[in-house]
Amino acid sequence: MIPSCPLPPPAQENALSTQSWPIATAQRIQIALHYGDLAYSRGDIAGTVAKYREAAAGFVAGPLWGGTELDEELHLARILTQLHDRPTAQTLWRLYLRDTQAPGYGDQVRRLRTGKFDAFFAAMQREDGYYTGNHPADDGTAGAIARGAAAGARGDFVTAQRDFDEAIAGAVYSSAYATYAWGASAWALGDHANARRAWLCASDAGRDPMGDMAFNGAGNAAAVTMLLSFPSP
């Protein structure tokens, strides 16, 4: 079962440093995030959301973003969703897809919409280069995703989900693609609520082992695309 993957506010334990952001807009975003975190620590949810919305508005008003700024967008969008401000999160997700260099997933959306699940997973098999970002520590995760994609292409979505569970459990660097794939298998099995929950987890999943590079990639972009295409009822 996919975990609930709770997040602290963006500037606490899972912080991504914005100290080096050079422009005034980025500094204003950083200040808004800081005060949003302080409000969160006091239990002031309304104040938290207000400050996080201010930070989101800074992203919207800013230039094309890249690198760790995109990671921060994903952090912020996910916690705003968990604080029940999905419209602002959707704005950030659209901004992320505008700025990221990850591949598009419109064809995969259409396959899920039309129930062509075997074709969905067959296409996933052709994306093996995106499974983990090619980090050697995640070779086992890549293998488990490949097995799951093959099972899904055969129409065996239960086995696919078990393989994706294994991929998530073994991930060291990035579980984003594995978690996105888990959500797709849940969708194919008719478990739409957990599919959306998995995609929310995948939208912000990843870890840079060196701590100084962006983690976002194809799995995050795929999950964001699904969240925008299959919003909660």
Domains of the chain: 24-99 (1.25.40), 106-229 (1.25.40)
Is the model's pLDDT at 217 over the cut of 90? Answer: no
Q: How many residues does the chain have?
A: 233
Model confidence at 201, pLDDT cuts 50, 70, 90, reads: very high
The residue among 36 and 233 whose pLDDT is bigger is 36
pLDDT for position 63: 79
Mean pLDDT in residue range 194-202 = 93
Q: Please state, for a pLDDT cut of 70, what percent of the chain lies above it.
A: 89
pLDDT for position 114: 97
CA proximity to 181, closest of 226, 135, 116, 229? 226
Are the beta carbons of 167 and 148 closer than 8 angstroms? yes
pLDDT digits (tens, 9 = 90+) for 143-192: 999 999 999 999 999 999 999 999 998 888 888 999 999 999 999 999 99
pLDDT for position 209: 62
Say which DSSP state 173 is in: S
pLDDT digits (tens, 9 = 90+) for 148-157: 999 999 999 9
User: From CA 221, how far away is CA 206, in angstroms rounded?
Assistant: 12
Q: How big is the CA angle at 211 (ends 227 and 59), to the nearest 5 degrees?
A: 45
Is the model's pLDDT at 50 over the cut of 90? Answer: yes
Q: How big is the CA angle at 169 (ends 131 and 2), to the nearest 5 degrees?
A: 90
pLDDT for position 10: 44
pLDDT for position 208: 65
User: From CA 198, how far away is CA 200, in angstroms rounded?
Assistant: 5
Count CB neighbours of 120 within 10 A: 24
DSSP one-letter string for 22-55: -SHHHHHHHHHHHHHHHHHHTT-HHHHHHHHHHH
Average model confidence (pLDDT) for the chain? 87
Read off the tokens for 46. 């309304």
User: From CA 51, how far away is CA 35, in angstroms rounded?
Assistant: 7
Model confidence at 98, pLDDT cuts 50, 70, 90, reads: very high
CA proximity to 198, closest of 173, 172, 220? 220
Work out the burial of residue 224: count CB atoms within 10 Å of its CB; fewer than 13 is exposed, 13-18 middle, 19 or more buried: buried
User: From CA 12, how far away is CA 207, in angstroms rounded?
Assistant: 15
User: From CA 223, how far away is CA 219, in angstroms rounded?
Assistant: 6
pLDDT for position 64: 80
Q: Please state, for a pLDDT cut of 90, what percent of the chain lies above it.
A: 58
Read off the tokens for 62. 């800013």
Mean pLDDT in residue range 182-207 = 93
pLDDT for position 1: 46
Q: Across the chain, which distance is largest between two alpha carbons, in Å? A: 52
